[in-house]
Amino acid sequence: MRVLSGVLPSPNDDRNLKRVIYLSHSGIVEVMPVRSSGRRLKRPRDPLALAKLIGDIATGQVQDRQEDTRNPAAVELGRLGGLKGGKARAAKLTPKKRSAIARKAASARWSKR
């Protein structure tokens, strides 16, 4: 199976979305959209309002994406800190402190029973 990446026209949208295409010997197997930076609209809990929103999205009257208002530099910094935070914390813990944390976690797990 080969994986291709390209821009395909979206049927519900006037802009082109980047999609990942999985190909096999028999042809196209699956076309999946690549995540964009925007988020989906929050779905209402009311069934009638949800049905109306889904209909509006299907007919193209409403866009299903919200713009991401976060600062990209701050998002990247937060992600980098999250990737190395646990390893850095574990490296600086003393064996005594690590044992105390493990003891506290075990007592929390066993207190639920």
The total number of residues written for the chain in this structure = 113
Give the model confidence (pLDDT) of 32-89 as tens digits: 555 555 678 888 999 999 999 999 989 989 888 887 788 888 888 888 878 888 888 8
- pLDDT at residue 18 above 80? no
Q: Count CA atoms closer than 13 A to 103's CA, side-chain side.
A: 6
Residues β-bridged to residue 32: 20
Chain segment 76-110, per-residue pLDDT in tens: 888 887 888 888 888 999 999 999 999 999 999 99
Check whether 1 has a pLDDT greater than 50.
Answer: no
Query: What are the structural domain ranges in the chain?
Result: 1-35, 39-73
